[in-house]
Amino acid sequence: MPDRRADGQADGVGSLSQGERALTPSLQGEGFTLRPWHADDLESLLHHANDPAVSRGLRDRFPYPYTREDGEAFLAGRVLAPGTLNLAIEIDGHACGSIGAQPGAAERGHTAELGYWLGQAQWGQGVMTRVVALFAPWVMDELRLFRLQAEVLDFNEGSARVLLANGFAEEGTARCAVYKRGVLHDLRRFARVRTQLPCPAESMPRIWRYRSDLRSGRIGPVPSSRRDVLTTRRLERARVEATVHFINSIIWSKALIVVCLGAGLYFSLRTRFMQIRGFFEMCRLTVKGEKSDAGVSSFQALAMSMAGRMGIGNIAGVATAIAFGGPGAIFWMWVMGFLGASTSYVECTLAQIYKTKDAEGRYRGGPAYYIEKAMGLKWYALAFAIATIIAAGFLMPGVQANAIADSVINACRGTAVCGPLDGQMLGMSSVEALKLGIGIAVALLLGVVIFGGVKRIANFAEVVVPFMAAAFILMAIVIMIINYDRVPEMFGIIFDSAFGTHAAFGAMMGLAVEWGIKRGIYANEAGQGSGPHAAAASEVSHPAKQGYVQAFAIYFDTMMVCTATAFLILASGTYNVYSPVEGAAPVFQGLAGVPEGAGYAQAGVEAVLPGWGAAFVSIAIFFFAFTTIMAYYYMAETNLTYVNHNKKRPLTVLVLRLGIIAMVVFGAFHNATLAWALGDIGVGLMAWLNIIAILIIQKPAMLALRDYERQKKLGLDPTFDPDALGIKNADFWRQRKQESV
């Protein structure tokens, strides 16, 4: 593990001296404990370290076979370089692995090398991701580090994913840097960097001073008051990050996937598969609709909802589904899109039925409104509204802004405009300064749009969303035409992988189902309660009209945009498929050294149109992410209006607008790992609250569908009378009916 040389890579092996062990507390994580190594850990160490699969991704000095002499030397402290901090990973009372950090020397004293390993019995459970989430922020604070770096062999995708999930950025690849077991390998470097320490630092970190004093004999037994090297505040910060990821894993468990898929199937049966029977009606209503001072047209409402659905998940999310579920995940994403169309019909029709007008005479509606009016549960509606304000207004915008900043930097790095971006500017690195400038520019543009109100948001979305979607789909078609000879093979891989018959991907059928459905939910948002906000703003003569339009939105998002991303990647062969076994070699590797995400799509374009890939995908990400931020604001404002009881309270709206603008700047400039997890928690809570509600109060949407179809058969332009259908609390429609008489 940590090498004896000053430039050695920390591989995660080594022990602490007795005095150092007293200074280092145990860190408690979710399902594990990080603590100093003990002499009685020898048998556990030998059991887990003596494994060729474990040593495969580490330095050759981590031996195999791992003998008793090796273990005894390690526990006696004869393996580690001086100054290395290393802890055992204890699970169920046994030391199953190790994680450590080796500080640099002299001018590199602000940097440390991270290393870790874990016994094969614990692979595939997300343990190491949680371990690094706890250890990395702690060790950076404890050792007063500005930079924590790690090196990963090219085939070790599991370790790369662990680092990327914990805020490490991939900085580059050293080509043919390692010769291991007769094969040349590239070495990928990752780093987690900060430019400020959390509080003023003394000239030397405490644990280094204590070690120096212990070795020189200047201090005796360590007093109990000095044994806790971490302050309570630092421990809590590390634990908060681990807890957030743990909560996120619970909310986005398989239970939510089953509920969303089950609801889609149930609503499809209840509506007699209206997404098939009414497809042409969806298309007709999408381009035809009324507009008024109070509401927007059906197409504008569609564009507003599509702005929220078409985020970076349409690019990075699809790539992630392929990476973890194989090409077969695309088929199950289609299934989720097909079934999700009926779910979208139900929730968006309910939003229309129970919509109202705010103090300025504009239509407002969404889950909070129909939960209160149809279920009569004010607290339930308020819980949804607050969750949406927090998630859409303050958590998720920063993530989208970060994606914009990263995409711009990736596109212009090394060009004549930006140069190599390896210098300093305004007291910070060139990359940080550029990200700050991008964040400010995006925030100013967003301010121009959102301060113009709902109408300006609708007008902007009406122009931008069709343009960006059409351009992206057109590029995918061009890629497919150029790779026309691979199209039949591509469809074959998708279907064979989906049903477990493909030679390479067949064993991943379960993961294909899981990741396809999960990313389908993320991409089209059917059932999450986001689409109904825009649907309620539409001016229509019958609520079912907007239900049809929003069902079409699911088709367009999943079947067109997500499919375009998938075809662009698969037709070019620019993707990797990871093994479900942590640390194992990829099942398929067509793009070595590139992590899952937008890079797959960029490489797909670059493969057939050199020089276009990074720029084109970066532009697409900008439009996708910016319109999503815009939609987030509208969702948050609608729920703020609900909390304000539809009264005009400009101060609260101003706070929301300034807050989302600030979060855009913050998100563009800072790392978004924790923000992603927090945002996922907010969206997950929205999905749970909304999907349960629409399953309970679906009846009005079904009555509206039958009423709409009945009037269409009579050759009428359907209108809505809630009293005739026995629907209560549809106050807006009741008043409109009375005014028309």
Share of the chain above pLDDT 90, in %: 10
Are 223 and 323 in a shared domain? no
Give the integer Cα–Cα distance in Å for 73 and 80. Answer: 10
DSSP class of residue 392 equals I
Give the integer Cα–Cα distance in Å for 392 and 637. Answer: 9
Lowest-confidence segment of 27-36, 63-72, 441-450, 521-530 by average pLDDT: 521-530
Helix/strand/coil for 178: strand
Confidence of residue 6 (pLDDT cuts 50, 70, 90): very low
pLDDT at residue 592, rounded to an integer: 66
- The answer to whether position 643 is within a domain reads yes
* Residue where one domain finishes, among candidates 251, 282, 317: 251
Interhelix angle 598-608/613-643, rounded to 10 degrees, is 150
- With the C-alpha atoms ordered 343, 344, 348, 349, is the resulting torsion angle positive or negative? negative
DSSP class of residue 1 equals -
Which pTM was predicted?
0.66
Query: Which regions of 27-168 does DSSP assign to beta strands (E)?
Result: 27-29, 32-35, 85-91, 94-103, 111-118, 147-153
Collect all residues with Cβ–Cβ distance below 8 Å to 591 and sequence separation of at least 6.
574, 575, 576, 599, 600, 603
pLDDT at residue 196, rounded to an integer: 66
Are 279 and 155 in a shared domain? no
How far, in Å, are 56, 69, 80, 161, 705 from residue 51 at the CA level? 9, 16, 21, 22, 62
Share of the chain above pLDDT 70, in %: 74
- With the C-alpha atoms ordered 669, 670, 672, 674, is the resulting torsion angle positive or negative? negative
- The answer to whether position 5 is within a domain reads no
* Largest pairwise CA distance in the chain: 97
589, β-bridge pairs: 576
The pair of three-digit structure tokens given for residue 301, joined into one six-digit string: 């409402």
Lowest-confidence segment of 6-15, 29-38, 347-356, 569-578 by average pLDDT: 6-15
The pair of three-digit structure tokens given for residue 235, joined into one six-digit string: 């421990």
Are 53 and 168 in a shared domain? yes
Give the integer Cα–Cα distance in Å for 94 and 32. Answer: 10
Residue 356 sits at φ, ψ, to 5 deg, of: -145, -175
Collect all residues with Cβ–Cβ distance below 8 Å to 653 and sequence separation of at least 6.
637, 640
Are 305 and 230 in a shared domain? no
Are 599 and 530 in a shared domain? yes
Q: Which residue has the higher pLDDT, 235 or 599?
A: 599
- Look at residue 198 and tell me whether its pLDDT is greater than 50: yes
Domains in the chain, number: 2
Helix/strand/coil for 697: coil
- The answer to whether position 740 is within a domain reads no
Per-residue pLDDT reduced to its tens digit, 618-669: 788 888 888 888 888 888 888 888 888 766 677 888 888 898 888 888 877 7
- Look at residue 296 and tell me whether its pLDDT is greater than 80: no
Nearest-5° angle of CA 592, CA 596, CA 600? Answer: 70
CATH number at residue 451: 1.10.4160
Collect all residues with Cβ–Cβ distance below 8 Å to 397 and sequence separation of at least 6.
629, 632, 633, 660, 663, 664, 667
- The answer to whether position 6 is within a domain reads no
Are 538 and 610 in a shared domain? yes
Count of residues in the chain: 741
Average of pLDDT values for 192-206? 57
* Residue where one domain finishes, among candidates 203, 222, 251: 251
- Look at residue 5 and tell me whether its pLDDT is greater than 50: no
Q: Which residue has the higher pLDDT, 597 or 560?
A: 560
CATH number at residue 60: 3.40.630.30
Give the integer Cα–Cα distance in Å for 53 and 50. Answer: 9
Torsion of CA 337, 340, 345, 350, to 10 degrees: -140
pLDDT at residue 582, rounded to an integer: 55
DSSP notation for 450-476: HTTHHHHHHHHHHHHHHHHHHHHHHHH
Residues 531/305, Cβ–Cβ less than 8 Å: yes
- The answer to whether position 7 is within a domain reads no
CA atoms within 13 A on the CB side of 677: 19
- The answer to whether position 739 is within a domain reads no
Are 238 and 262 in a shared domain? no
Average of pLDDT values for 155-165? 84
Are 291 and 155 in a shared domain? no
Average of pLDDT values for 514-519? 78
The pair of three-digit structure tokens given for residue 268, joined into one six-digit string: 């499809």
How far, in Å, are 22, 29, 33, 37, 555 from residue 26 at the CA level? 10, 10, 7, 11, 51
Give the integer Cα–Cα distance in Å for 67 and 502. Answer: 41
For residue 394, what are the domain limits? Answer: 254-734
Are 215 and 335 in a shared domain? no
- The answer to whether position 41 is within a domain reads yes
Per-residue pLDDT reduced to its tens digit, 416-460: 555 554 555 555 566 677 788 888 888 888 888 777 765 666 666
Residues 275/555, Cβ–Cβ less than 8 Å: yes
Are 398 and 421 in a shared domain? yes
Per-residue pLDDT reduced to its tens digit, 691-705: 999 999 999 999 999
Are 231 and 311 in a shared domain? no
pLDDT at residue 593, rounded to an integer: 61
* Residue where one domain finishes, among candidates 251, 268, 286: 251
- The overall average pLDDT reported for the chain is 76
Lowest-confidence segment of 140-149, 339-348, 575-584 by average pLDDT: 575-584
| CB-count exposure of residue 179 (10 Å: 0-12, 13-18, 19+) | exposed
pLDDT at residue 419, rounded to an integer: 52
Report the DSSP pairing between strands 147-153 and 169-180.
Answer: unpaired
Report the DSSP pairing between strands 169-180 and 183-193.
Answer: antiparallel
CA atoms within 13 A on the CB side of 316: 18
- The answer to whether position 135 is within a domain reads yes
Are 97 and 207 in a shared domain? yes
